[in-house]
Amino acid sequence: MTGFMRSPKVLFTTLLILFAIVADCQVSIRLAQPAREQNNVNTSKQFIAGRTCVGCTITINDDTVHVYSTGTFAARYELNTGRNTFVITATSPDNETASRSVTFYYNPVPPPVATQAFRIDFMEITPAGNLQLMPGDVLHIRMKAQPGNTATWINNQPLKELPASQTNGVPGYYTGSYTLQPSDSLLNGRIIARLYNSSGSVATLASPNRYSMLNTDMPLTGRTLDNMTYLVASPFGDRLGPDKIGYLDKDVLLHVVGKQNDYYKVRLSSSQYAYIPEPLLDTEIPQEELPVSVAENAQTWSDEKFDYISLELSDKLPYLSTQRVDDRKIIVDIHGAYADKALSTALNGTKEIKAIAWGQPYPDLCRLVISLKHEPWGYQIYYTGNKLTVKVKRLPERPSLKNLVIGLDAGHGGSNPGATGLTGAVEKQWTLNIALRLKALLEREGATVILSRNSEKFVANEDRLSFFRRADPDLLLSIHFNSSVNPVDVMGTATYYKHPFCEPLNAAIHARLLETGLKDFGNNDNFNFILNNPTEFPDALIETLFLSNPGDEEKLLQPAFQQLLVEKIVQGLKDYMARLNAQR
- Show Cβ contacts of residue 416 under 8 Å, excluding neighbours closer than 6 positions: 428, 458
Phi, psi (5° rounding) for residue 546? Answer: -95, 110
Is the model's pLDDT at 230 over the cut of 60?
A: yes
For residue 369, give the 3-state DSSP assignment: strand
Is the model's pLDDT at 24 over the cut of 80?
A: no
- CATH number, domain 293-393, options 2.30.40.10, 3.20.20.70, 3.40.50.1370, 2.60.40.3500: 2.60.40.3500
Is the model's pLDDT at 23 over the cut of 60?
A: no
pLDDT for the residue 19: 46
Q: How far is CA 96 from the centre of its chain?
A: 48
* Same fold across 25-106 and 293-393: yes
- Band of residue 9 on the pLDDT scale cut at 50, 70, 90: low
Is the model's pLDDT at 20 over the cut of 70?
A: no
- Tell me whether residue 59 is exposed, middle or buried, using C-beta atoms within 10 angstroms of its C-beta: 0 to 12, 13 to 18, 19 or more: middle
- Tell me whether residue 191 is exposed, middle or buried, using C-beta atoms within 10 angstroms of its C-beta: 0 to 12, 13 to 18, 19 or more: buried
Q: Which of 492, 494, 477 is nearest to 540 (CA)?
A: 477
Q: Look up the pTM and report it.
A: 0.92
CA distance 192 to 535: 46
CA distance 536 to 336: 24
Is the model's pLDDT at 1 over the cut of 80?
A: no
For residue 490, give the DSSP letter.
-
- CATH number, domain 405-581, options 3.40.630.40, 2.60.40.10, 3.30.470.20, 3.30.43.10: 3.40.630.40
For the domain bounded by 120-213, which CATH number is listed? 2.60.40
65, 69, 72, 78: CA torsion to nearest 10:
-30
* Beta strand spans in 328-482 (E): 329-335, 337-338, 353-362, 365-372, 379-384, 387-393, 405-410, 448-451, 475-482
For the domain bounded by 25-106, which CATH number is listed? 2.60.40.10
Residues 112-162: tens digit of each pLDDT: 999 999 999 999 999 999 999 999 999 999 999 999 999 999 999 999 999
pLDDT for the residue 25: 62
Domain boundaries of the chain, sorted by first residue: 25-106, 120-213, 220-282, 293-393, 405-581
Regarding the domain delimited by 220-282, which CATH topology (the fold level of the hierarchy) does it fall under? Answer: SH3 type barrels. (2.30.30)
CA distance 174 to 317: 43
